[in-house]
Structure 1
């Protein structure tokens, strides 16, 4: 037997031997000792080590800092706009226009995805550019100031601008933004992560690794870094009905919303992949589901910790060292004023208030807190050991109850 097996057997022995057996004036009766060894065969299944079956990750501010990634994607947006003739556009314009879109459509904004907000922001910025150019050209032709143009001309200029913008050009600019986002994510990947993932794969060769994200980031598209380690990506935008319901609930008076839908979907992806792998390897039920552990890693208490824990995952909360990792997303809730929000954020005050309440409740669902990503492999193994020890103790107690 290895050391862990001896430890587990000792736990059973200590629980199963009657307390009077340890008194100096007593000896352990032969029938009691026999009973201990008879129990061993009945508890073989719980002596099996817990196994990491599914490991899921949030992406932004968990595997790379979101602030510089968005900044560089916004710069790509400005370059793409210039390429298609929309000049003097600032990188920050896509964020500011996104905020304006959400303010103007508060009911619709509740359920809008990041991609929808971004697409509308790009279109609106193009329309504004065409509209202002039209007004200037008419004013120049008429030898007057823009402010002197009649309301009829102004209204017609706006209508013409709205119809003149090509959807294919809007999509091209959005594609440029998303492509640069993935490139920037690879450039800013936290430096120790490649070694960390390699260690995880070495420790848990059969683990299935997935991403769960509320945006369009996808590690499978990060071909130079993360793609080799990930098996799937589950985006909130893949299930519009579930996402819409969540944000409507979050925006309600109570502000209560659950994320079971997205984490259940991620777990279903895991089951499908595991089944396919077992079929390819011609094995059946290779792992006992009771021995499989799912662990989710993320930086958001409400979205990552609470959401995954409610579906049965153990959680690792990435409250990373500020100087080393530069996280900004979780700091949004320290001060809810608009002046204190990171430049990339388009969240409304009401959304931040509701999420802050969810964060407070989620604290109790944290299994481990991580300050340095280099310690992630150890944290995973610690959780597995703790789960195994907890099950051993419960099984031993059940055995005592049966004897009683």
Structure 2
């Protein structure tokens, strides 16, 4: 009897494994996976270009709420920058809803910067994001895009990217939501194994070869969304770090030259390598509270804005280039990206009570005041 029970359990386990294998993406076939809509994960340069012919992209990103205080830093450090081809320099802001000033979001958009999503709730514990359901992911991101476009008065179809809170991956769930709601890319997935040479953006039509630092990572075949890998920096002891402000072994925070050298050393690993996009992922507070770091950062931006083969761009622009890779010379001849500025009839709505926690919030926006504080399930606060 025990033998038959054991045999039955083995059959069940085999069926589960077979089901998992059936849902797992196959190994990438480079012949079948072709640009512009499919790319295998890897460090090879898109289009087979030589490294010296590849534009070196620099992607500056800031996370979390946009508010009146951090807008001062953004205006001081980022505004009015141009690359050497005379096109405006790009930056991506991954914005969560709570405590965000949508007046600030509108201003950033009208400065030509990319607005992307960092979830509506950014809630804790971190395990929520590891176990999040598809339905909750729709509430967090698909509904947040509606909310962002509405309250900041920016075009819905310009909001194409997401970054998960705490960089906590959600398996296939987030990418399935992105595929069904027409998001272009995710920039939440760190890599420490592919830093030299760096990992280029890729799609999930086939199995990813990227290391999984904060599981669960996607395993299914999910055509459509792109992965914008978070290629880690190396600190002074070569310990990887995904955000600049999470690097541990760093120069003294009052040492401007030390910080400038630290930034440039990480940049040169990309610039002198396969020219995978160089990431400068940071939270604004780190720049604001450390004046020497800010000065070093500004010096670095001044440097890259003066180089003929380096371009400070937003995340969408990187994906666009990967889809249709062209040489530096061709890239410099491209027209600058354009957009239609939007108006903002500034309104301050306070006090607004939140139904989910009873708290009172202020809310600055470019539309009419909602009835209650907007939240999950009621993104417009109706």
TM-score bracket for the superposition, by shorter chain length: under 0.3
TM-score (norm 2): 0.28
TM-score (norm 1): 0.27
**Higher strand share goes to which structure?**
2
**Higher helix share goes to which structure?**
1
Structure exhibiting the larger radius of gyration computed from Cα positions: 1
